[in-house]
Amino acid sequence: MPSYVEYLSDASMSEDSSDEDDMLPLYDPRDEDYWAIEALLDTRKPPPILEYASSLGVFTLRECIVGPLRKDIESVVDVGSKYSWKEFWSGAAASVRANITHKDWDAIGEFCFVLCSTCYMENDMDRVRSCIIRILSYGHFKSIR
């Protein structure tokens, strides 16, 4: 009868290897982000002013969340809305006539906060504001009259 000990490799006989250490994550973290964004959009729609965000797709929405921080609100909205944005974030009362009102900013901010929560456990407001700017860049808010 043949000896099976001869067929075992050295790696299979070592006692210090553990299967738990060699376990790789089952899913890519990006995939988990995409699924979380899909689940959010299934249960919650964007505010009316951002209705188009539902059709952007999870890849684009994730990029709006995790992309480099943007602070250039003036590149995506009209002048009145730019001042309304500054007043909203500073806590000042609305004094300018703008196409995007404080009520709109509040709805957009709340949606983007929840959206950012799908990819980050801890949100900061710089990330949320950047997400807002990125999502608004896909709309046509610069030329609204």
User: Within 13 Å, how many C-alpha atoms sit on residue 48's CB side?
Assistant: 4
* Beta carbons within 8 Å of 76's beta carbon, 6+ residues apart: 133, 136, 137, 139, 141, 142
Q: Are 109 and 132 in contact (CB under 8 A)?
A: yes
pLDDT number for residue 29: 87
Q: What is the mean pLDDT of residues 15-28?
A: 67
What's the rounded mean pLDDT across residues 12-16? 55
Scanning 44-144, the segments in alpha helix (DSSP H) are: 58-66, 79-90, 102-117, 125-136
| pLDDT bracket for residue 10 (50, 70, 90) | low
Indicate the pLDDT class of residue 144, thresholds 50, 70 and 90: low
State pTM to two decimals: 0.81
**How many CB atoms neighbour CB 134 within 10 A?**
22
Picking from 8-22, 50-64, 93-107, 108-122, which range would have the lowest pLDDT averaged per residue? 8-22
